Structures are given as C-alpha cells and as structure tokens.
Structure 1
Amino acid sequence: MALSSTLPAAAESYLLMAEEDGCYWCGRWNKEISQIYPKTPEGKAAPLKRYDLHGEMPDVDFKQRVAFTPTFILVIDGKEVSRLEGYPGEDFFWGLLSQMLSRADIKLDEAS
C-alpha cells in the first residue's frame, strides 16, 4: 500500500508596479533599479510585473485604488498584501521593499 502526502502549493508572490507614460519617478526607478531587480534575492522572491495605470486592470484584489505612480504592490495569490506609493530613491527603496517582504513572511535566498 503506497502512502502519499499532499503538500500545499507554494503561494505565488510578485511585485506589481503601476506606472504611466511621463512619470518622472517611474523613469528614475527604471534607470536605477529595473536592470538589477530580477538578479536580486528580492527580485527572485517577488518577480516584477508591470501594468499601465490607464490600461487594462490586472486580475488583483486591490485593497484600494492605485492613485500614484509608481506604486509597488506586493501580491500573494492574487491579493494585495502591502504597497509602496512613490519611489523614494534607491537607498530607501531596498529597505522598504525588504520590510514588505518580511511582513509577508517571504524569505529571501541570500545566496542568489
């Protein structure tokens, strides 16, 4: 008789960036962070997805309407768990993102 155990599926987590054409701070984030983000432990734990604020809405259960760009929304299994409105610069971005991931119990693989 074979026994099998069912493990719960890993939660899908990602960082959703709301942006729009002409957004100065979106451009700054793109210049300072976008190229390195996917290579970081944070980027591996919460891969980046983007959407245009004035385009089609993503299939996410938002806590509130997105009003500013850029807005970075941590999404787990289709639900917003936290957000960062605006881009405070590279030095502050990483610390704030780390806090968002930590509060959501998302562990970072520091060996990456």
Structure 2
Amino acid sequence: MWTRRGLMAGGALLMARPLWAAPGLRLMMVRRKGCVYCAAWDREIGPVYARHPSGRMAPVFMVDVEGPYPDGLALDRRPWLSPSFILLRGGTEVARFEGYPGKDRFFDVLDAMLDEARALG
C-alpha cells in the first residue's frame, strides 16, 4: 500500500508523492513468481545495480506482473512478459525492454533506455 504524508510548508499542505513517482527516473522491474530469468537478474545484476552509474540514475523497484500496480502509473500497455523493465519519469513510461538480455548486455540495454529518456527531454 502506498502511503502519503502531509507536510506543512508556508501554510500549505503538501502531499509527498510515492518514491516511484518522483520527478527523476525510476526503473520498474515487472516480475513473476518462479520466473527463472528474474532469478538470474537477481543473482547477476541485483547485487551491483545500485552501485552501477546507470543504476544510480534510475533506482529500481519491483512489481508482480499480476499486480497490484501503484496507483497513478501511466503505461503504454499492461506488462505481460516477465521480466519487463519499464523506465518511468514521474510515473509515466518513457522506455521499455521486455525480457532479460543477460548479464553481459543488461546495462547496455538500460543505457539505451536512459538515452531514449534524455532524447524525450
């Protein structure tokens, strides 16, 4: 469940947005229980993702393919393949890659997604 905390600033009540909806980029990994490719990502990429420069540019969060999905996402279409990697800016999809390209190509694919997000502004 996503929670919101009210903050008082200058007399106005501001609602904090969920982390996935922050103005920067976030990577949503859509996974399925028992997915062998998700397990491979967990072993091969998961331990180094947050330390990699591209991982720092787009922190990852996980969602099950069956949901629930965070409220307010604006996706091009509902994911059905796991894993799917959806790059979000403020909760809006800017790039997607379906499947796991393997440990030798994952960050190249992520870099291409980040380039696409930069090109969109």
Q: TM-score range by the shorter chain?
A: 0.7 to 0.9
Give the deviation of 1:42 after TM superposition.
0.9
AA aligned to 2:35 is C
TM-score scaled by length of structure 2: 0.75
Aligned to 2:69, which of 57, 62, 68? 57
**What residue is the counterpart of 1:86 in the other structure?**
99
Quote the RMSD (CA, aligned, Å): 1.5
Higher strand share: 2
**What residue is the counterpart of 1:100 in the other structure?**
113
C-alpha deviations, 1:39-97, integer Å up to 9, x for none?
11111110001111123112310101101000000000110001110001011111111
Q: Secondary structure at the match of 2:50?
A: helix
> How high is the sequence identity, in percent, across the aligned residues?
39
AA aligned to 1:12 is G
User: Higher relative contact order by CA 8 Å / sep ≥ 6: 1 or 2?
Assistant: 1
Give the deviation of 1:38 after TM superposition.
0.4
Structure 2: 5+ residue stretches without partners: 1-21
Structure 1 residue ranges (4+ consecutive) displaced by more than 4 angstroms after TM superposition? none
**What residue is the counterpart of 2:26 in the other structure?**
14
Q: Secondary structure at the match of 1:73?
A: strand
**What residue is the counterpart of 2:56 in the other structure?**
44
